[in-house]
Homo-oligomer: A and B are copies of this chain.
Amino acid sequence: MKLGQATIKDIARELNVSSSTVSRALKDYPGISDETKRKVKELAAKLNYRPNAIALSLRKSRSFTIGVIIPEVVHFFFSTVISGIEEVANSRGYNVILTQTNEKYDRERSSIETMLSNQIDGFLVSYSKETQDFDHFSNLLDQGYPIVFFDRVPQIPKAINVMVDDYRGAYDAVSHLIRQGYKRIIHLAGPKNLAISKERIRGYRDALTDHGIEVDESLIVECPLGTDTESRKITTEILKSDSVRPDAFFGNNDMAAVGAMLACKDAGLQIPNDVGIVGFSNWQFCSMIDPGLSSVAQPGFQMGAKATEILLDIIEKKLDPEQITESVTLPTELLIRKSSVRIKN
């Protein structure tokens, strides 16, 4: 079995020195003769010595591990964020322990508990759709635990937030649609308790008014699930109703946009000539579907990387959390594909 992992004591015994000496020799501390250092290192290599990180954590009350709490892993955007987190954490010598909440408030809380038990050095959090109050996070902050929120960020004191410019992204997308001549633009919106949904709605509104179009509240339709199936159904309903037909859809996410696209095709409408569509997130499939789906790209990898950098800087006291007063906002980029560009004739 996996017994026999050599420890400092083993080396010490074999060499007839104390553990202290071995420890210091391995770390090249002053006050140890070169001869001893050589012998210790040699034996360590021979025995394939590996420091016990657990013992170290206990001693130092630091685990060199950060905890990531995320709604779901199976989600293109979040997976890119994780990738960014992983890269930075790894390169700076930290481990990443991951839990997904599946959008459940209870799991969010219990994840925090187990992570605390595991003496996590800090948290990286994107909260669940179910979460309505943020006391569990506020408590952590009050106790001095470093937390950096990303994407889905709470409005609570002392929180450090990394997000993308949802407002600008939405604003750009809708402005683009207007410039293409679309006038009756539906917004397939996200759950209204998420700040990101609100920001995108705000961007939608402002783009319309800034271009002299009055906002028709009935054109803002909530798609709480954000799946293609849901929005396909909703869109089909809309197209069937006897009100004036919309001529464009701006989705809170790409899935919603695709659902709308499919519903429009079902209804025999031509995209982009009859209906223009823009999504949000720029999932991989945007470039794979026909017509290509215009979308607002969110820099997921950078977001994960940035959030992790800030977190680790705080943990390592290179950064004082008090000094960070405003959120970090990463730019979005509107990628224009065929779904929203009217073909001239």
Contact = CB atoms under 8 A, between A and B. Distances in A.
Interface of A: 1-5, 50-55, 57-58, 63, 65, 72-76, 79-80, 82-83, 86, 90, 95-100, 113-114, 116-119, 143-145, 228, 255, 258, 262, 265, 283-285, 287-290
Contact of A117 (B51, B145, B258): B51
Nearest to A232: B288
Contacts of A2: 143-145
B57 A54 contact: yes
A247 to B, nearest CB: 20
Contact of A83 (B73, B117, B118, B258): B73
Nearest to A56: B117
Contact of A74 (B65, B80, B287): B80
Q: How many identical chains are in the complex?
A: 2
A316 to B, nearest CB: 14
A99 B118 contact: no
Contact of A265 (B52, B74, B290): B290
B74 A86 contact: no
A113 B290 contact: no
12 contacts: A2-B145, A50-B113, A50-B116, A53-B119, A54-B57, A54-B119, A73-B82, A74-B83, A86-B98, A90-B99, A228-B287, A228-B288
Given A53-B119, A284-B285, 9 more contacts: A2-B144, A3-B144, A53-B114, A73-B82, A73-B86, A74-B82, A228-B287, A258-B288, A289-B289
A74 B80 CA distance: 6
A54 B86 contact: no
A106 to B, nearest CB: 12
